[in-house]
Amino acid sequence: MTDTLRDTLARPLGSLRLSVTDRCNLRCRYCMPEDEYVWLPRTAILTFEEIERLVAVFAGQGVRKVRLTGGEPLLRHDLPTLVDMIARNPRVDDLAMTTNGLLLAKQAAALRQAGLERVTVSLDTLRPERMLAFAKSARHGDVLAGIAAARRAGFTSLKLNSVVIRGFNNDELADLIEFARAHDAEVRFIEYMDVGGATRWSRDQVVSQREMLEVLGQRYGVIEPVHAIGDDERAPAERFRLPDGTTFGIIASVTAPFCRTCDRSRVTADGTWFLCLYAGRGVDLREPLRRGADDAELATLIRETWQGRTDRGAEERLGIADRGALYRIDSLRADPHREMHTRGG
């Protein structure tokens, strides 16, 4: 007998992604391609104390992994203080962050000291001119400096996330693997997803896991899958090994979704809890939090909601014949919670 909290598909509540801000200092074409955005009201943004309390209640219900994300998490003022507050929770045994790296060089040491254990840096291209065209930023050098600073600060098992898009960076797969190897990191190629915000998504721009493996196989020879054990079995990335032992991952959320083992959920910066990246609606946790609900009430809400979870968003998208962008821009403006940058990638 186990009292692990499970949803309708027996998936545990294990991993919580906390978006600490909906703001971002990049405008990646696959996430924030528009000129203007509707932001969450400032007064709705959870304070560090509110986030700390929510994490404690979630941890009481089984969450062991917490990942800070956004928007760009390093835009949240004084993030090391929040890291310190969460790291003190003895139930949280894995505290990580996903960042675009622009502001990492300055903050890496403080974050590490505060108790952040792992960092993933998004790096889609090694060519500054491509980043300028694709993410409207001339700060490629800052990202590289951030990666170097993270290593100096003692972050081991550094991961690099690369969203692979046909016609943009699909000719850089080997270069990114080589870069990661040279920087003691592991790259994870992500299939371009039709999440909210990806208003220019189309099927033909997706480079599938299969195609990536074919291209890399031609370059490197036989590529072996790395068999997942323990916690890794729930990880979204499938890992592979090149003949020389170098490993990399692929997150095939479009062609081979991992819904069946998905133990993740997301809390937005204003305290809305989403059980799936594709979910149409979230659960308002800010209202009970600010009304003065006690921990037991919050725990019951979380427990009952998770027990009723049926979401398999990415798998359901597989069945759509004329698959296009998930939301049009007017629908995103009507509710910014539908945006990937609000929900936290």
Tell whether the torsion through CA atoms of 69, 81, 57 and 43 is positive or negative: negative
In angstroms, give the least distance from the CB of 163 to ligand SAM. Answer: 4
Nearest to ligand SAM by Cβ — which residue?
Answer: 345
In angstroms, give the least distance from the CB of 271 to ligand SAM. Answer: 18
In angstroms, give the least distance from the CB of 169 to ligand SAM. Answer: 11
Nearer to ligand SAM, 20 or 92 (CB): 20
Nearer to ligand SAM, 69 or 137 (CB): 69
Nearer to ligand SAM, 30 or 273 (CB): 30
Nearer to ligand SAM, 298 or 343 (CB): 343
In angstroms, give the least distance from the CB of 96 to ligand SAM. Answer: 11
Nearer to ligand SAM, 100 or 137 (CB): 100
How far is CA 174 from its chain centroid?
Answer: 23
Q: How far apart are CA 201 and CA 168, in angstroms?
A: 13
Which burial class, exposed, middle or buried, applies to 122 when counting CB atoms under 10 A from its CB (0-12, 13-18, 19+)? buried
In angstroms, give the least distance from the CB of 118 to ligand SAM. Answer: 13
In angstroms, give the least distance from the CB of 66 to ligand SAM. Answer: 14
Nearer to ligand SAM, 5 or 102 (CB): 102
In angstroms, give the least distance from the CB of 265 to ligand SAM. Answer: 15
C-alpha closest to that of 336 among 134, 68, 44, 103: 44
Nearer to ligand SAM, 62 or 196 (CB): 196
| Contacts with 70 (C-beta within 8 Å, 6 or more apart), sequence order | 19, 20, 21, 22, 23, 24, 76, 269, 341, 344
Q: How far apart are CA 23 and CA 103, in angstroms?
A: 14
In angstroms, give the least distance from the CB of 275 to ligand SAM. Answer: 18
Nearer to ligand SAM, 96 or 298 (CB): 96
In angstroms, give the least distance from the CB of 267 to ligand SAM. Answer: 14
The contact set with ligand SAM (CB under 6 A) reads 24, 30-31, 69-70, 72, 98-100, 122, 161, 163, 190, 192-193, 195, 198, 340-341, 345
Nearer to ligand SAM, 105 or 195 (CB): 195
